[in-house]
Amino acid sequence: MNGKTLVAMSGGVDSSVAALLIKEGGAFCGGAAMRLFAAEGGCEDARRVALRMGIPFYIFDLTDEFSGAVIDDFIAAYRRGATPNPCVVCNRLMKFGIFFERAGELGYDLMATGHYAQIFFDSGARRWGLKKGADESRDQSYVLYSLTQKQLSRTLFPLGALTKAQVREIALANSFDNAKKRESQDICFVPDGDYASFIERRTGEPFRCGNFVDASGRVLGRHRGVERYTIGQRRGLGLSLREPLYVCAKRAEENVVLLGRDEELYSKSFTASKINLIACERITAPLRVKVKIRYRAREERATVEQISDDGIHVEFDEPQRAVTPGQAAVLYDGECVVGGGTID
């Protein structure tokens, strides 16, 4: 593809090198940053990189949209007992939603990002596909499973065939100020990682205390709000117990956190909703896949069936630990993304 391309620039090294590669490839290239919340400083970093490369640059002020679509959704998910992945939601609604449409409105044929993933066209299926990035340690296909055929057909991932080390070398060779910029591992709007305190500050409402219970309903102690806990958690419960117990479930409607032994954390199956399929329009028969239930989780063998227009049922070959409602479940066929959904 060699169309007029708008690059989503965050101020980091990955999106900066993506813009450089687009420009060096001969395409007309512009850059744009999304201002998503007040404390964000990446827009000015991105502006400096764009100025250095001599490309047009825009800032899209999406603070209101991000607040409603991503932050409020994040809080609502925690309140109903789920553990959300806001990066997946942001990619779907902001970067490949609003940004994607703005690029078209500005006359750009394509958009590009610094994601480590690869897009291809399957001539047999006559569909656009998504597969893992060449750098396995940096692969981001998991957070991109929601891309539609239209979005895939008009998106470029210039870093898909590169390693992170190669990207930093390119940045250093071009004297980018951000060549050695440290990357954040936290959610952008909760940089200290304290999700519970963020939710309390944001809502102005303290969490409701309730009971820790076991599978028989026996009260084991008091919790400080279901929002403070996640499936599989052992530390930080504030209890003195005779044996190690873990968070096995959260029943937000009852304000109860269920504790159990490690073996009680394992599940053989789950359902997921809000699905998006990339490799096919519909799963018409039981399909053998590998499934990733968290970004850093290992893929596990399973069989998937589509049970509704918006739902799938996944049956693992072997029980898996801490399958967590709210997280994304992504299906793979080898290196290729079949699709995914949100664990119910």
Residues carrying an active site annotation = 90, 188
Q: What are phi and psi of 122, to 5 degrees?
A: -90, 105
34 is in an annotated binding site: yes
11 is in an annotated binding site: yes
Reported as type and span, the H/E element at residue 308 is: strand 300-308
Q: How far apart are CA 310 and CA 277, in angstroms?
A: 10
Q: What are phi and psi of 237, to 5 degrees?
A: -80, -20
137 is in an annotated binding site: no
Question: How many other CB atoms are found less than 10 A from the CB of residue 209?
Answer: 11
CB 259 within 8 Å of CB 213: yes
Please write down the HEC assignment for all residues of 37-85: CCCCCHHHHHHHHHHHHCCCEEEEECHHHHHHHHHHHHHHHHHCCCCCC
194 is in an annotated binding site: no
10 is in an annotated binding site: yes
Please tell me what DSSP assigns to residue 250: E
**CA separation, residue 84 to residues 12, 54, 195, 300, 329 (Å):** 24, 39, 11, 21, 12
Q: How far apart are CA 328 and CA 144, in angstroms?
A: 10
Please tell me what DSSP assigns to residue 194: -
13 is in an annotated binding site: yes
**CA separation, residue 136 to residues 68, 130, 140 (Å):** 33, 15, 9
141 is in an annotated binding site: no
15 is in an annotated binding site: yes
1 is in an annotated binding site: no
Q: Is the dihedral of CA 232, 233, 239, 240 positive or negative?
A: positive
**CA separation, residue 81 to residues 77, 84, 143, 260, 315 (Å):** 6, 9, 21, 17, 23
Q: How far apart are CA 287 and CA 331, in angstroms?
A: 10
**Annotated binding residues for ATP, as ranges?**
8-15, 34, 114
**Annotated binding residues, as ranges?**
8-15, 34, 114
